[in-house]
């Protein structure tokens, strides 16, 4: 048994639209294919002994114990590993429940699919589940706790912190998309020109000056003091200063903390003698050269949160502590406190486990205690100098008890510093009375205040503090989205994408679009190559200059990573035919249709799925959609179109030499086909077909008919606007036609166009793609033999698992099967040499058609030939 590969799916995918975050492990059972669980002695008992929680897995039985029943009856190891991976994540504090195990089409090989919370932890769970099962099969020891703890650590290292996470969750509730921009806490909310960014709880709206002021505690105190805000007396201790000046100036009790510190690092409170002061000063200097010394204000530690300059909530913070019982040691009391089910590792639960660290030992030393000391009954002992939740502290919500004057002061402080998201630390006996009355003081003003104490207080009412942040960044009624038109299918995707983007640009939009030849931002190519996957789509959506996205989405990206977006406004499916069959676990055109159907299934409820009514598999997709449907067809008499429009539906059709939008029974003729350049006067039928979903998609996105018409008229078939798609080069005595047709359906459409062009002799430069099925390659040969007078076979740069002789052999077989054994046939492996041969041997009036491999290379090579010919003609004329 072995793991073949592990893929991380991050968006809507082949397995699930609603569960975008999935691990897909390809597992080869090898000899275990013949060994289901009921044939392995004591397998169920050993498995349940390690993971008793598997009893709760219902599986397809739908009842507790359902999965274990399947194990008793006999199931395969892929299915077992799926459930083990889910249970391991649950034990690590990530309760997941979706899983699927399906064959890949190869005997003994399976896709094991399950959901995850954090992708690196999910991938680790896949490997751990495999290892656990292997240990059972080989009857060897397995350290469950070690793997579970490692998963917890990975989760805490990679997850968004609780503050950032709460904002992202609130954004999701509002339908606002997000993109994580790094492995820390930098997150983009929204797309394109509407995007905002957050880093923890600092937003793109937060003033840089305000953050800088808040980071300088002395500057903050000076501003607040000048505004008559109560603050404690204090001084700055410089690198060469000693504690004596602080003692004489401030007096005991006092507080030391780094001038530019945060989260309580290096801070020591309630210092009452010189020895403590020297130790505290050394601790503070570990985090900065400059240290602030303030008078220690006795009272309770409160945090007030102000967002968008409005009071939101307040919490009482208590450092990690234990209360003596007169019997047990401090260590025992700590261990008991950590048994509280609300305490967990890192941020996984409401409270964090208490760890004994250097600060704890300092607190013990200052009190003359050790971990073995038995505290008198009801004696409270603080284990940390600060009340941070991340070190085991607790919080109690006191929002409803804050005096109006204190609310006024908090909002005023936020304005004085200029912080739109502001955490104010107050030391006071309470917040029920005014700070002016109870002698309390403002200790600090914090940029990037933590939200966890408010979202998950140990006591009191949880507060949704992320909501006012989202309301500040995105006023009610806005989602931060840009319109997205997503396009998929077997053939025609790139031309449809380019034409759609061109019409959008003509209508005044700043468009970002992806195609199989590159990524474009406002018509400027930013990335070259096949850019039809999620990374390229995300590149567009992250760009702050675009207000419209047109995204070509190919099979490969959907299968390998899922989509880059959760929702789109319009999805187009051009057609489905037999291409890429046998790759990535897709063994039939029906399965391929399921892959392509992922796009229309992500359309928002009020958006449109635009489906090809001439294609049975595409038309069938309408049954599983929760959005509006629009259809297109090459015939207005298509029964499906008639039925759809009779019910008030909208469609696009080719009728009476026009591309026409039909709204119910009304026709809106958009443009005469003869005036649409990419149709070559109506000869390129497949480009008429590609035009239909483009005009429909842009019309449904509220673009005017005049803009659509102008876009159609100005979209010229050329190496610039349509590289590798019907690029016709006219030489003096013959023509070259360059096209990226790479499958039988595409070649049939290309040949239909070729046969409509004037030529006395047709030459085809063809090739087969190595990872396609044998008969798909033969079919390229058959189609070529039926349509060309001469054939030149070339090879792709990437052979994709086959030898040149294999591909040539299959093409020749197809040519011969179609009766082309008497056709002139030349085999020239290198594309440039094949083009050169065709060029030097071209007959007058001939048309040379090349199925190109690397589009830019082929176009550049032919352009050079054209330039050389023109140069020679000019030299001849000049002579």
- Written as one string, the DSSP assignment of 360-429 is HHHHHHHHT--TTPBPPTT-EEESSSS--GGGT-EEEE-GGG--HHHHHHHHHHHHHHT-SEEEEEEEES
**Helix (H, G, I), strand (E, B), or coil: what is residue 652?**
strand
Burial 509-544 (b: 16+ CB within 10 A, else e): bbbbbbbbbbbbbbeeeebeebbbbbebbbbbbbbe
pLDDT > 90: percent of the chain: 81
Indicate the range of 11-20, 26-35, 282-291 predicted with least confidence. Answer: 282-291
- Confidence category of residue 214, pLDDT binned at 50, 70, 90: very high
Kindly state the average pLDDT of the residues 253-258. 90
pLDDT (0 to 100) of residue 250: 86
Query: Per residue in 675-728, pLDDT tens?
Result: 999 999 999 999 999 999 999 999 999 999 999 999 999 999 999 889 989 999
Q: Which long-range contacts (CB under 8 A, 24 or more apart) does 238-245 make?
A: 238/289, 238/290, 239/289, 239/290, 243/274, 243/277, 243/278, 243/281
Tell which residue, 589, 608, 590, 586, has the closest CA to residue 599.
Answer: 608
Cα distance between residue 786 and residue 790, in whole Å:
10
pLDDT at 846 over 70: yes
- Spatial strand order of the sheet with 99-103 comes to 2-9, 22-28, 109-115, 99-103
- Residue 96 has, within 13 A of its CA and on its CB side, a CA count of 28
In this structure, are residues 612 and 690 in contact, taking their beta carbons and an 8 Å threshold?
no
pLDDT tens string 277-326: 999 999 999 998 899 898 888 899 999 999 999 999 999 999 999 999 99
* pLDDT at residue 171 is higher than 70: yes
What's the pLDDT at 732? Answer: 92
Sheet with 650-655: strands ordered across: 524-528, 518-521, 511-515, 548-552, 484-488, 568-573, 603-612, 628-633, 650-655, 658-663, 666-672
Distance, in Å, from the CA atom of 450 to the CA atom of 391, rounded to the nearest integer, reads: 13
Average pLDDT, the chain: 94
Residue from 85, 96, 87 nearest 25 by CA: 85
**Lowest-pLDDT range of 161-175, 323-337, 380-394, 612-626:** 380-394
735 HSE (CA, 13 A, CB side) = 17
Q: Is 540 a residue whose pLDDT tops 90?
A: yes
Dihedral pair phi/psi, residue 727, rounded to 5°: -90, 110
Beta strands 109-115 and 22-28 are antiparallel
How far apart (Å, rounded) are the C-alpha atoms in residues 146 and 717?
Answer: 61
Q: How far apart are CA 17 and CA 598, in angstroms?
A: 7
pLDDT for residue 343: 87
Residue 878 has pLDDT above 80, yes or no: no
741-754 residues labelled b (16+ CB within 10 A) or e (exposed): bbbbbbbbbbbebb
**Average of pLDDT values for 95-117?**
94
pLDDT for the residue numbered 263: 64
Main-chain dihedrals φ then ψ at residue 132, nearest 5 degrees: -60, -45
Give the residues across from 485 on adjacent strands.
550, 570
CA distances from 846 to 264, 589, 731, 747, 749 (A): 81, 37, 10, 19, 20
Report whether pLDDT(563) > 90: yes
Cα separation, 270 vs 253, whole angstroms: 5
CB 496 within 8 A of CB 487: yes
pLDDT band for position 38 (cuts 50, 70, 90): very high
What number is the average pLDDT over the span 49-72? 94
Checking if the pLDDT of 879 tops 70, the result is: no
Please tell me what DSSP assigns to residue 52.
G
| pLDDT score, position 654 | 98
DSSP per-residue string spanning 202-260: EETTS-HHHHHHHH-HHHHHHHHHHTT-----EEEEPTT--HHHHHHHT-SSEEEEETT
Count CB-CB contacts under 10 A for residue 78. Answer: 27
d(CA 504, CA 521): 13
Please count the other Cβ atoms lying within 10 Å of the Cβ belonging to residue 144. 14
Residue pair 332/374 in contact by the 8 Å Cβ criterion: no
How far apart, in whole angstroms, are the C-alpha atoms of residue 17 and residue 602?
7
pLDDT score of 350 more than 80: no
| For the chain, the helix, strand and coil percentages under 3-state DSSP, each to the nearest 5 | 40, 25, 35
Pair 124, 154: CB distance under 8 Å: yes
Tokens in use for 114?
């399950």
pLDDT given for residue 363 in this prediction? 87
Low-confidence winner among 231-235, 425-429, 434-438, 603-607 (lowest mean pLDDT)? 231-235
Distance between CA atoms of 658 and 397, rounded to whole angstroms? 68
Q: Find the mean pLDDT for residues 632-654.
A: 97
| Residue of 641, 630, 615, 728 lying closest to 677 (CA atoms) | 728
Is the pLDDT at 120 greater than 70? The verdict is yes
Q: Is pTM beyond 0.85 here?
A: yes
Q: Comparing C-alpha atoms, which of 608, 548, 575 is closest to residue 493?
A: 575
- The closest alpha carbon to 751, from 785, 775, 721, belongs to 785
Residue 484 clears pLDDT 80, i.e. is over it: yes
User: How confident is the model at residue 727, as a pLDDT?
Assistant: 93
- Angstrom distance (rounded) from CA 36 to CA 80: 10
Taking the mean position of all CA atoms in its chain, how far away is CA 261?
A: 34
């Amino acid at each position: 048994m072995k793991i073949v590969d592990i893929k991380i799916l991050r968006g809507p995918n082949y397995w699930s639209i609603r569960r975008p975050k999935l691990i897909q492990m390809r597992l080869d059972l090898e000899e275990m294919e013949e060994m289901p669980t009921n044939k392995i002695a004591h397998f169920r008992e050993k498995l349940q002994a390690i993971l008793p929680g598997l009893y709760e897995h219902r599986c397809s039985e739908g009842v507790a114990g359902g999965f274990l029943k399947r194990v008793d009856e006999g199931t395969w190891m892929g299915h077992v590993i799926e459930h083990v991976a889910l249970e391991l994540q649950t034990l690590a504090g990530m309760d997941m429940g979706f899983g699927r195990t399906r064959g890949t089409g190869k005997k003994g090989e399976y896709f094991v699919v399950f959901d995850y919370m954090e992708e690196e932890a999910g991938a680790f769970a896949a490997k751990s589940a495999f290892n656990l099962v292997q240990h059972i099969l080989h009857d060897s020891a397995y350290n469950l706790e070690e793997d579970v703890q490692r998963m917890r650590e990975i989760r805490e290292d990679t997850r968004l912190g609780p503050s950032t996470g709460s904002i992202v969750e609130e954004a999701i509730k509002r339908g606002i998309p997000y993109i994580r921009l790094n492995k820390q806490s930098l997150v983009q909310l929204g797309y394109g020109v509407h995007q905002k960014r957050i880093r923890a709880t600092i937003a793109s709206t937060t003033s840089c000056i305000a953050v800088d002021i808040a980071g300088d505690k002395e500057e903050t105190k000076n501003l607040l003091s000048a505004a008559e805000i109560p603050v404690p007396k204090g001084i700055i201790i410089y690198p060469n200063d000693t504690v004596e000046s602080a003692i004489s100036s401030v007096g005991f009790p006092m507080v030391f903390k780094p001038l530019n510190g945060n989260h309580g690092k290096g801070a020591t409170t309630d210092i009452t003698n010189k020895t403590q002061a020297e130790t505290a000063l050394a601790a503070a200097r570990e985090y900065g050269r400059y240290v602030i010394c303030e008078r220690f204000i006795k009272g309770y530690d409160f945090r007030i949160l102000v967002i968008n300059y409005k009071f939101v909530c307040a919490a009482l913070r208590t450092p990690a502590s234990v209360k003596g019982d007169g019997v047990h040691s401090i260590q025992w009391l700590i261990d008991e406190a950590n048994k509280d089910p609300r305490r967990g590792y890192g941020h996984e639960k409401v409270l964090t486990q208490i760890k004994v660290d250097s600060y704890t030992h300092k607190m013990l030393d200052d009190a003359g205690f050790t971990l073995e000391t038995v505290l008198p009954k009801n004696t409270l002992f603080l284990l940390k100098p600060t009340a941070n939740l991340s070190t085991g502290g607790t919080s109690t919500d006191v929002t409803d008890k804050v005096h109006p004057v204190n609310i006024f002061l908090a909002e005023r402080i936020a304005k004085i510093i200029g912080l739109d998201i502001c955490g104010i630390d107050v030391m006071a006996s309470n917040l029920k009375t005014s700070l002016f009355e109870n002698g309390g003081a403002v200790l600090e003003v914090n940029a990037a205040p933590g939200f966890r104490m408010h979202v998950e207080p140990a006591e009191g009412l949880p507060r949704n503090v992320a909501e006012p942040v989202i309301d500040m960044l995105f006023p009610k009624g806005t989602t931060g989205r840009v319109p997205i038109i997503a396009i998929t299918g077997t053939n025609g995707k790139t031309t449809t994408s380019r034409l759609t983007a061109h019409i959008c640009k003509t209508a005044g939009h700043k468009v970002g679009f992806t195609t199989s030849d590159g990524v474009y931002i406002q018509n400027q190519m930013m990335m070259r190559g096949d850019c039809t996957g999620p990374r390229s789509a995300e590149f567009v959506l992250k760009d702050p200059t675009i207000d419209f996205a047109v995204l070509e989405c190919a099979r490969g990206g959907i299968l390998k990573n899922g989509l880059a977006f959760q929702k789109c406004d319009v999805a187009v499916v051009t057609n489905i035919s037999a291409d890429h069959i046998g790759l990535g676990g897709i063994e039939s055109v029906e399965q391929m249709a399921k892959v392509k159907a992922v796009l229309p299934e992500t359309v928002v409820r009020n958006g449109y799925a635009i489906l090809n009514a001439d294609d049975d598999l595409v038309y069938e997709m309408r049954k599983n959609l929760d959005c509006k449907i629009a259809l297109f067809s090459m015939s207005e008499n298509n029964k499906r179109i008639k039925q759809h429009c009779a019910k008030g539906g909208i469609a696009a059709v080719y009728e009476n030499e026009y591309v026409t939008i039909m709204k119910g029974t009304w026709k809106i003729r958009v443009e005469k086909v003869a005036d649409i350049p990419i149709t070559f006067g109506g000869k390129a039928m497949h480009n008429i077909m590609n035009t239909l979903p483009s005009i429909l998609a842009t019309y449904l996105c509220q673009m005017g008919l005049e803009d659509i018409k102008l876009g159609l008229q100005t979209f010229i078939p050329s190496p610039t606007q349509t590289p590798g798609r019907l690029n016709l080069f006219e030489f003096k005595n013959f023509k070259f036609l360059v096209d990226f047709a790479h499958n039988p359906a595409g070649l049939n459409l290309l040949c239909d166009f070729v046969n409509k062009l004037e030529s006395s002799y047709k030459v085809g430069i063809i090739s087969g793609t190595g990872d396609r099925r044998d008969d798909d390659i033969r079919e390229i040969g058959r189609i070529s033999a039926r349509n060309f007078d001469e054939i030149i076979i070339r090879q792709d740069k990437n052979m994709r698992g086959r030898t040149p002789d294999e591909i040539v052999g299959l093409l020749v077989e197809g040519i011969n099967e179609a009766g082309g054994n008497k056709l002139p046939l030349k085999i020239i492996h290198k594309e440039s040499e094949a083009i050169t041969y065709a060029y030097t041997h071209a007959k007058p009036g001939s048309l040379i058609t090349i199925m190109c491999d690397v589009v830019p290379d082929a176009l550049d090579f032919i352009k050079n030939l054209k330039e050389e010919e023109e140069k020679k003609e000019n030299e001849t004329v000049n002579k």
